[in-house]
A and B are shown apart, each in its own frame.
Chain A
Amino acid sequence: MASLEEREGDVAGAVRRLARTAAFAEAMAEAGSGETVRLDTKSTSLSARPRLQGVVFRVWTGKRWAEASTSHLAGPELSAAVEHLEGEVAHGGGTAPPPGLSTTTKGSWATHPKRPLHDLGSDGTIALAKEARDWAKAVPDIVEVQVRLSWEEEERLYLNSAGARCHERTLRTHAAVVPIAMENGNPAFDYWSHGGVGGLETVPPLDEPAMRQAAENSRALLHAKAPPSGEMEVLLDDTVAGLFAHESFGHGTEADQFVRDRSYLKPLLGSTVGPEFLSIADDGTVPGGWGSIYCDDEGHPGQKTMLVDHGRFVGALHDRETASLLGAKATGSTRRSDFLSRAFVRMTNTYVEPGDRSVEELIADVQDGVLLEHGTSGIEDPLGGQMQLKVRKGHRIEHGRLTDLVGGMALSGKVLDFLRSTRGVAKGKVGAIDPGFCGKGHGDYLHVGTGGVHLLSRAIVGLA
């Protein structure tokens, strides 16, 4: 299989050919490599990333965008994709110029890991996973431990008819350990998951204390009490605060939702929406951040964009088209899941910036509430302004003290009400950027990071 750079001439030739009839043409070619080790008490499996490569072309027809993709970087299949798009341009029925500015970025970027996982080789990676498994399995009541160690290098080449050429190799490393505890036929688990752009330096050590603690966390959930139900004070830990940032001001500020008139936030741009001590950012340049990018899929470099600055809603995420329509600048937020997927306005790493209270002070401020810990997922509601966040566990807070461990919960609420009720944000540093995948709708999943600091507010919580 020829490399992307070896096939660059074919792809660039196709872009030049498309530009003869289209006002603008671009291509994103993609390839990748990687390995995943999965191990539990019964089996060891390895998987190599599929040896896939392909390219997507996008042209402006004079009226709208048209795209075609193929898993062949040369030959008749590539020509067929180009010919199809030439037909779309010929029958496009419009003469309007393409929306927004075409990038002319030129550059080449690559991740340089300090401790590449692939340097361990398959045997070394399996040995590391076995050690982690055995430490966790040694804890009583743990019946199974699943360990997953992986690295993947994604290569992307972006070319357009304005002269942009962005070539990037992004290496991500991820480690996850899931100890499963069992009692009377009832399984319970917590999990340990870390990763980032880079090598093993983005993952905390998989050492005995960490693995035993992960197993003890699962075991403790065997005896967790039922969570409380109803509206109450909620203290989000850093992982849940990151999900809050992503679901509330991340999706709500993707400006394609503004263009669709589908964001409750659109009329609030420039206004104060929360307390002065609350700031939220999306930053594609966080060193090692799971969602960090070098260049987006329109050739804009990654950047930091303030979404909420000291309580004021100040910014949105833009691609070239939304920037053009709304009088803004593109924010390095145009992303495709892969060469088979369309480009959308997407997030990178989204987080709550530190405030000025200690976590202890925030807990002491709660008379009757719950600490939500270990966020797992969320879902947005761009038009209605609702949000749903789910967590693996939590602790009751009673009279300013943490009390009982409680099981998984869902939080539901209106974002603006939640902001109005926000009483404090913890100080300190934004901790680890948690690795995750985000869909747009129910598809188009890609790497995003979330993070933050503890945040105190009020919402509905219930069993989940």
Chain B
Amino acid sequence: MSGATGSDVAFRVAEQLRAPAPWEVIGERTRKFELHLQGTEIELERGPIAIEGYGIRLFRPRGNVLGTGFQASSDLSAEGISTATSVAETIARHAEFPAKSVDLPGGQARPSDVAIVDRSLWADPTRVVREYVDALLAAFHGRSNAVPSFGSVKATLSEYSLANSSGLKVQFPSTHVELEVAVKAFGGPEGAPPGEYWVTEGSRRLEPKKLPGDVEAWCRYAADVRRAVAPPTGEQAVVLPSEVLAGILPSVLGGRFTGAARLRHIAPEVGSVVGGELATVRDEGDYAWGSGSAPFDDEGAPRGRHPLIEKGTVAGLLYDSLYASALSERSTASAVRSAAGPSGEFRFAHPPGPGVTTLVVAPSNGGSDQELYETAGDGILVTQLGWAYPDPISGTFGGEIRIGYRIRGGKVAEPVRGGTVGGTVLAPKGAPSLLANLEAVGSTATLSGHVATPMVVVRPLSVAGA
């Protein structure tokens, strides 16, 4: 894999760990390389941005409860490991989790073979990021009415390792890239103010060959912003592409379809109806190039595929080892480490909890994008929402339309911008929701970060505008 390996940080820490079982260590070595653009010039070059650290988790049974203690550190000295262990022990004495024990994964399972490493990026990150930026700028060459006003390309190369007191020793690498570009359209005889299409994308690899087509579309959206008006108010058919659904589904399904939600009485019952016949959603931790995909979960268990919703009916929930133990279930290898805020992007800095990885909405017989517009008839295509801000507890979402289009007579018509679109992702049987009101699901899925889904038609959703 072009020299891509996992870090041995966890193994080094585990060798020095002086703590009784059960315990678990995650190690991480991450390097980042960034180029920041101002216009078509490189404004700032950052890197290597290097961090190496580990997290120790201890489990201490006390009668009917389990005390869990976690401490992360970047201090790899013997004294640093001893201090981190001591802090974790102290925390475990205070913590209470409703399980008597924990069944950590052992080291024998075979991992899934999932593509999550951009090999050329791993081999020479500085050169590959520069070449990608060159290709990005080249795609704007010759355009007289659109430029990038700023942007950045950030490449993250991570090596993970996991060890535990059950004999687990696994390691794996991954790459992640973030692209941000603000495309400004201007000029023309109409004298309209400039328009902007703001691109923010996360993926596992850099794909410069896609840039000419992508830039063409971004410039078109930026130009259409200049003549767009607010959509009409009312309940109407709304067409949502994968980019928009990727901003809605992970938060809500991740908040409600887990053992953590079940323990706290906010998960739907398995077997209950939360959507229409067209709503089938799986969590696929081994989906190629998915932002949430990996060969192992964040406790070291091999990732797999788990049905969440089957034809509108709840088919399963996601568990890590701790919540599986509390609820007498088996782990679904769904341990995820992440958090918002400073250092949130580093796995080693957080204890795991059950969560979604890469969500896959099953394609159906809705056909091509054009056929979906024809199904919608008259409605709104939402190309980009300002931010859906989905609420993981209530399941509501909504945001401002940054760019979209009226659909008239089954065809994409004039652009719309401003106003809001929103609703509820899932609701009990009989109540309106995004999943209950799916009228058509396209035939081909597109991967957008953590979600692979076809375009869908929802009828109706609430639109507020002029």
Question: CB within 8 Å of B: which residues of A?
Answer: 1, 40-48, 50-54, 56, 64-72, 77, 80-81, 84, 88, 122-123, 126, 143-144, 146, 178, 180, 182, 184-189, 229-231, 259-262, 264, 337-338, 340, 342, 376-377, 379, 381, 383-384, 386-388, 390, 407-414, 437, 441-443, 445-446, 460-464
Contacts and interface: CB of A to CB of B under 8 A. Distances in A.
Given A51-B83, A338-B342, A462 B398 contact: yes
B266 interface: yes
A463 B422 contact: yes
Given A53-B74, A67-B46, 10 more contacts: A43-B263, A51-B72, A70-B49, A71-B51, A338-B343, A390-B399, A408-B391, A410-B400, A412-B419, A463-B464
B121 interface: no
Given A1-B83, A377-B387, A408-B396, A48 B91 contact: yes
A122 B396 CA distance: 35
B366 to A, nearest CB: 25
Given A388-B387, A460-B230, A81 B43 contact: no
A84 B344 CA distance: 26
A50 B421 contact: no
B398 A143 contact: no
Contacts of B387: 377, 379, 388
Interface residues of B, number: 98
B80 A51 contact: yes
B233 interface: yes
Contacts of B96: 43-44
Q: Tell me the dominant secondary structure on chain A's binding face.
A: strand
A188 B69 CA distance: 31
Closest 10 A-B residue pairs measured CB to CB?
A464-B398, A462-B464, A462-B420, A50-B72, A388-B400, A464-B422, A51-B73, A229-B464, A383-B196, A412-B400
Contacts of B44: 64-67, 342
Given A260-B149, A383-B184, A464-B422, A445 B342 contact: yes
Interface string B223-242: 00100001001100000000
Interface stretch (B34-42, B164-172, B211-219, B436-444): B34-42
Most interface-central of A50, A64, A66, A187 (chain B CB within 10 A): A50
A184 B428 contact: yes
B204 to A, nearest CB: 17
Contacts of A54: 51, 74
B349 interface: yes
A81 B50 contact: yes
Contact of B419 (A1, A262, A443, A460): A460
B451 interface: no
A209 B73 CA distance: 40
A86 B312 CA distance: 59
Interface in B414-466: 417-423, 427-428, 431, 462-466
Interface in B298-331: none
Contact of B386 (A68, A388, A414): A388
Most interface-central of A144, A414, A446 (chain B CB within 10 A): A144
Contacts of B184: 261-262, 383
B68 A45 contact: yes
B351 A47 contact: yes
Given A51-B83, A445-B342, A463-B398, A144 B265 contact: yes
Contacts of A463: 396, 398, 420, 422-423, 462, 464
Given A342-B34, A463-B398, A48 B194 contact: no
A262 B263 CA distance: 47
A204 B465 CA distance: 39
Most interface-central of A146, A184, A386 (chain B CB within 10 A): A386
A68 B46 contact: yes
Given A51-B84, A53-B74, A229-B233, A260 B420 contact: no
A72 B77 CA distance: 12
B398 A230 contact: no
19 contacts: A42-B98, A43-B97, A44-B94, A46-B95, A48-B70, A50-B74, A51-B72, A51-B87, A52-B72, A66-B45, A72-B74, A122-B91, A229-B463, A261-B149, A262-B182, A377-B389, A384-B195, A411-B420, A464-B420
B70 A47 contact: yes
B53 A340 contact: no
Nearest to A185: B428
A261 to B, nearest CB: 6
Given A337-B342, A386-B400, A342 B200 contact: no
Contacts of B75: 1, 51
A337 B49 CA distance: 14
Given A51-B71, A410-B420, A463-B420, A340 B51 contact: yes
B180 interface: yes
A230 B419 CA distance: 8
A40 B397 contact: no
A461 B464 contact: yes
Contact of B94 (A46, A340, A437): A46
Contacts of A144: 264-266
B193 A264 contact: yes
A37 to B, nearest CB: 8
A76 to B, nearest CB: 11
Contacts of B95: 43-46
B150 interface: yes
A65 B463 CA distance: 45
B1 interface: no
Contacts of A72: 52, 74
A231 B340 CA distance: 34
Contacts of B73: 1, 50-52
Interface in B52-100: 52-53, 55, 68-75, 77, 79-80, 83-84, 87, 90-91, 94-98
Contacts of B351: 47
